[in-house]
Amino acid sequence: MIVDLPDTTVSKISRALVNVREEGGAVALGRVLTLIILTRHGALEEVIEAANDASREHPMRVIVLMIADGDAESRLDGQIRVGGDAGASEVVTLKVQGEVGDRNLESLVTGLLLPDAPVVVWWPNRTPDLPSKTSIGKIAQRRITDAATKSDPSKWVSSLGDRYAPGDTDLAWTRLTRWREQLAAILDQPPYETVTAVRVRGAADSPSTALLAAWLRLALDVEVDWGYLDESEWPHGIKSVSLVRESGEVLLERPSAGVAILTQPGQPVHDLSFPRRTLRECLAEELRRLDPDLLYGRVISEGWKLLGPPTVVGPSGQTQE
């Protein structure tokens, strides 16, 4: 069910939400959190679809704040989605323009928050410089950004430690879960040898490559040779991780998107399913924990400071700092 509320107010939207639940039989029982999404025109349906899919694992109320660009007449248009149009959530869309969007955005959502439920804020694009200092960010237990949407992902990742506050996280880190799990599993198996060298390679537009290198630098306490491949060699995401031990090299490498090959000394070669994680998968994972991710905080601060500069690998195999 979709209910449109053009040129409205927050109080009218709140009353309409109660009426929709009563008339349609939908209830708010079991909602575990409120997810606030701050986005722009053009990205609405994609982020709502991801939130709807994630809500099947985390029933919640979703509030989408869509702020218009440029000068326009002050206006607030609302929309309520419940039932089949909202997954296991309730979706309230607020399209804001003019002076309404220039004021404290917290006032637009306060009356729509679930009582006594945690608040998570997600910026799928156009992230503020200091998410924890914004009016919306201050009321949230968790704040989700995405370095991959930035015009310069590498620059954004390099500054994550300086802007970090407990509760912050970035989907570039979430996309590493499968890599971190596989590498940890390798090191938990014999032979239990010290890693003496690490090499990480990925695409130039992959902020996750830098975060994986910082995690390995922090976890293994060894210098990490990391860098970016030419686009002609590898277009997107992480390409490979090499761990050198006394018995030889362990190599986890993607020959193509969706597949990885694990090569270890004295063992058969393993083909692994390694698809790039979807937006829905990353969002659902971040909503599983509402406490600060302490490891993420250490990686972007301590690990990043220990990491050296990246290497750029050209199509001919030549490298440069």
10-residue stretch averages of pLDDT, the chain, 321 residues long: 91 90 61 90 83 90 85 85 77 84 77 93 91 94 94 91 96 96 95 96 94 98 95 92 97 95 96 93 94 96 95 62 48
Rg value, the chain, Cα: 22
Per domain, the residue ranges of the chain are 2-145, 177-315
- The strands making up 258-263's β-sheet, listed across from edge to edge, are 270-274, 258-263, 248-256, 238-245, 197-203, 224-229, 311-313, 319-320
Measured between alpha carbons, how far is 292 from 308 in angstroms, rounded to an integer?
Answer: 27
- Comparing C-alpha atoms, which of 177, 178, 213, 193 is closest to residue 309? 213
The reported pLDDT for the residue numbered 206 is 93
Distance CA 47, CA 136 (A): 18
User: In 10 A of CB 63, how many CB atoms?
Assistant: 25
Q: Record the tokens describing residue 27, joined without a space.
A: 């209830």
Helix, strand, coil percentages in the chain from 3-state DSSP, rounded to 5 = 35, 30, 35
The structure tokens listed for 103 are 């004021």
Q: 3-state SS string over 75-86?
A: EEEEEEECHHHC
Say how many CA atoms lie within 13 Å of 173 toward its Cβ: 22
- Residue 107, CA distances (Å) to 96, 122, 145, 154, 302 in order: 12, 17, 22, 34, 37
Give me the pLDDT at residue 113, please: 94
C-alpha to C-alpha distance for 94 and 76, rounded to whole angstroms = 7
Separation CA 237–CA 311 (nearest Å)? 16
Task: Supply the pLDDT for residue 77.
Answer: 93
With CA atoms as reference, report the closest residue to 142 among 300, 297, 317.
297
85, burial (CB in 10 Å: exposed 0-12, middle 13-18, buried 19+): middle
C-alpha–C-alpha distance, residues 83 and 21, integer Å: 10
* Residue 26 CB burial class (10 angstroms; 0-12, 13-18, ≥19): middle
Alpha helix ranges (H) inside 32-140: 44-55, 99-102, 106-109
319 burial via Cβ count (<10 Å: 0-12, 13-18, 19+) = exposed
**What type of residue is 50?**
A
pTM across the whole model: 0.91
